[in-house]
Chain A
Amino acid sequence: GAVVSQHPSRVICKSGTSVKIECRSLDFQATTMFWYRQFPKQSLMLMATSNEGSKATYEQGVEKDKFLINHASLTLSTLTVTSAHPEDSSFYICSATPGRRRTEAFFGQGTRLTVV
Chain B
Amino acid sequence: DAKTTQPNSMESNEEEPVHLPCNHSTISGTDYIHWYRQLPSQGPEYVIHGLTSNVNNRMASLAIAEDRKSSTLILHRATLRDAAVYYCTAWTDKLIFGTGTRLQVFP
Binding site for B on A (CB under 8 A): 1, 4, 6, 34, 36, 43-46, 49, 91, 93-95, 100-102, 104-110, 112
Query: For the complex, would chain B's binding face be called helix, strand, loop or mixed by DSSP majority?
Result: loop
**Contact A44 B44, CB 8 Å, known A102-B32, A105-B34:** yes
Q: Is B98 an interface residue (CB 8 A)?
A: yes
Give 10 new A-B contacts, CB below 8 A, not counting A36-B97, A91-B41, A101-B34.
Answer: A43-B98, A44-B97, A46-B96, A101-B30, A104-B49, A105-B34, A105-B36, A105-B95, A109-B42, A110-B41
CB <8 Å contact, A107 and B44: yes
Please determine whether B43 and A109 come into contact, CB atoms closer than 8 angstroms. yes
Majority secondary structure, A binding face? strand
Q: Which residues of A contact B99 (CB under 8 A)?
A: 43
Task: Tell me the bound Cα distance from A107 to B97 in angstroms.
Answer: 13
Chain A residues whose CB sits within 8 angstroms of the CB of B95 once the complex forms: 34, 46, 95, 101, 105
Question: Nearest B residue to A106 by beta-carbon distance?
Answer: B46
- Contact yes or no, A49 B94, CB < 8 A: yes
Question: Contact flags (1/0) for B66-101 with A, using CB distance below 8 Å?
Answer: 000000000000000000000100011111111110
User: Complex: how many Å from CA A6 to CA B41?
Assistant: 13
Residue of B nearest to A97 (CB): B95
Partner of B93, one of A4, A49, A95, A110: A49
CB-CB under 8 A for A107 and B41, given A34-B95, A43-B98: no
